[in-house]
């Protein structure tokens, strides 16, 4: 394990004013996105869309890395350039999603566990050779009257830690993603409780697996009210409770947090990220507070593109605009009217 390389890459991914584009949609997810704009999900269409994002002029000012899907890391662009080189030639670090999705947890049908550990060591070696600099694994934690259970938290945290240790062995920075779902009518206090329990279990497992905390990143949910809660907390409360929760459970040696958007509307998640960075200094938060957004960055350009080559320029402008606004929130300088 090259510790210095891991630390350097992790720090580069959370550089000031920058964050990560999550473009790692599975085949089923990208099909649903394309269905929403009446575009067939062919390999060529998927490549054209993602290449448009990757080649957007100036976006490297705000995007430090891109999480790719297995198909994309193996593809060439329209001019024959490897997609990983389209990114790396602009100073953007290519990454790769390595989990294979979720299945019901045995004997706990209301909870899910993520698969993909079988054969992972060999796949990581190949991804490193293909040009990846980091990896990502997503676990899903639901909030209900009966979940999460200690069994569910333990199973998912163990898998996250095994993934992280194997990634670092291969020289790749792991992005550990324990997503606490926003689904439900729970209040922000319940989300705080579950998030703290989740992080404590995850970092206990990471310690057992001897993961270098300085050479990894955390991709969590923010501490927010449930999506159908009667009263939802505003950005300032979200920021305050998120930082307070993390200070109880997230080691200071982790260099950065790259928040997921989690299905929140674009303006909401951007305002929350902005409030987090505005409060970070005063709260003595020891981590860089950045982003790893998918839908929040891609919704506008996807709609503008609509599968038509003549819309490429308009779609690229929409992507640049979303990246610029999110980069501003990363610095605590987001102005919604912009």
The verdict on residue 61 lying in a domain is yes
The verdict on residue 335 lying in a domain is no
Q: Give the pLDDT of the chain (338 residues) as one tens digit per residue.
A: 789 999 999 999 999 999 999 999 998 999 999 999 999 999 999 999 999 999 999 999 999 999 999 999 999 999 999 999 999 999 999 999 999 999 999 999 899 999 999 999 999 999 999 999 999 999 999 999 999 999 999 999 999 999 999 999 999 999 999 999 999 989 999 999 999 999 999 999 999 999 999 999 999 999 999 988 888 989 999 999 999 999 999 999 999 999 999 888 889 999 999 999 999 988 899 999 999 999 999 999 999 999 999 999 999 999 999 999 999 999 999 988 76
State the catalytic residue, choosing from 25, 111, 177, 179: 177
The verdict on residue 336 lying in a domain is no
The verdict on residue 338 lying in a domain is no
The verdict on residue 337 lying in a domain is no
The verdict on residue 272 lying in a domain is yes
The verdict on residue 86 lying in a domain is yes
* Annotation marks residue 18 as catalytic: no
Question: Residue 47's closest CA among 23, 19, 14, 11?
Answer: 23
C-alpha dihedral, 6 to 10 to 13 to 15, nearest 10°: -120
Q: What gap in Å lies between CA 90 and CA 84, rounded to an integer?
A: 10
Q: Residue 336: its pLDDT value, please?
A: 82
State the catalytic residue, choosing from 18, 97, 136, 219: 219
The verdict on residue 241 lying in a domain is yes
* Annotation marks residue 125 as catalytic: no
Give me the number of domains the chain comprises.
1
Dihedral (CA of 324, 327, 332, 336) sign: positive
Global pTM exceeds 0.85? yes
Q: Is there a contact between 218 and 173 (Cβ–Cβ < 8 Å)?
A: no
Q: What gap in Å lies between CA 320 and CA 163, rounded to an integer?
A: 32
What CATH number does the domain containing 215 carry? 3.20.20.70
Domain that holds residue 16: 3-330
206 contacts: CB under 8 Å, gap ≥ 6: 160, 161, 164, 176, 213, 216
């Amino acid at each position: 394990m090259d510790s210095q390389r891991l630390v350097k890459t992790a720090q580069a991914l959370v550089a000031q004013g920058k964050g990560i584009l999550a473009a790692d949609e599975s085949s089923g997810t990208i099909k649903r996105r394309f269905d929403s704009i009446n575009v067939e999900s062919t390999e060529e269409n998927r490549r054209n869309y993602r290449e448009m994002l990757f080649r957007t002029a100036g976006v490297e000012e705000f995007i430090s890395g891109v999480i790719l899907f297995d198909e994309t890391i193996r593809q060439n662009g329209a001019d024959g350039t490897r997609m990983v080189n389209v990114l790396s030639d602009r100073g953007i670090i290519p990454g790769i999603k390595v989990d294979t999705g979720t299945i019901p947890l045995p004997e706990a049908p209301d909870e899910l566990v993520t698969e993909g550990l079988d054969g992972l060591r060999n796949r990581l070696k190949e991804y490193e050779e293909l040009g990846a600099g980091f990896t990502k694994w997503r676990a899903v934690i639901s909030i209900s009257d009966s979940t999460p259970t200690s069994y569910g938290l333990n199973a998912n945290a163990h898998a996250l830690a095994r993934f992280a240790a194997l990634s670092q062995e291969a020289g790749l920075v792991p992005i550990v993603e324990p997503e606490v779902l926003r689904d439900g009518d729970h209040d922000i206090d319940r989300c705080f409780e579950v998030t703290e329990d989740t992080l404590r279990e995850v970092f206990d497992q990471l310690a057992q697996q001897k993961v270098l905390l300085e050479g990894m990143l955390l991709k969590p949910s923010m501490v927010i009210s449930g999506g159908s809660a009667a009263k939802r907390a505003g950005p300032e409360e979200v920021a305050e409770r998120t930082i307070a929760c993390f200070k109880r459970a997230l080691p200071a040696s982790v260099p950065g947090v790259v928040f997921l958007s989690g299905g929140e509307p674009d303006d909401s998640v951007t305002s929350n990220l902005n409030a987090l960075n505005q409060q970070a200094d005063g709260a003595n938060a020891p981590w860089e507070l950045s982003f790893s957004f998918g839908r929040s960055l891609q919704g506008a350009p996807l709609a503008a593109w609509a599968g038509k080559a003549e819309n490429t320029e308009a779609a690229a402008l929409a992507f640049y605009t979303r990246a610029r606004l999110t980069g501003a929130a990363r610095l605590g300088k987001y102005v919604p009217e912009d």
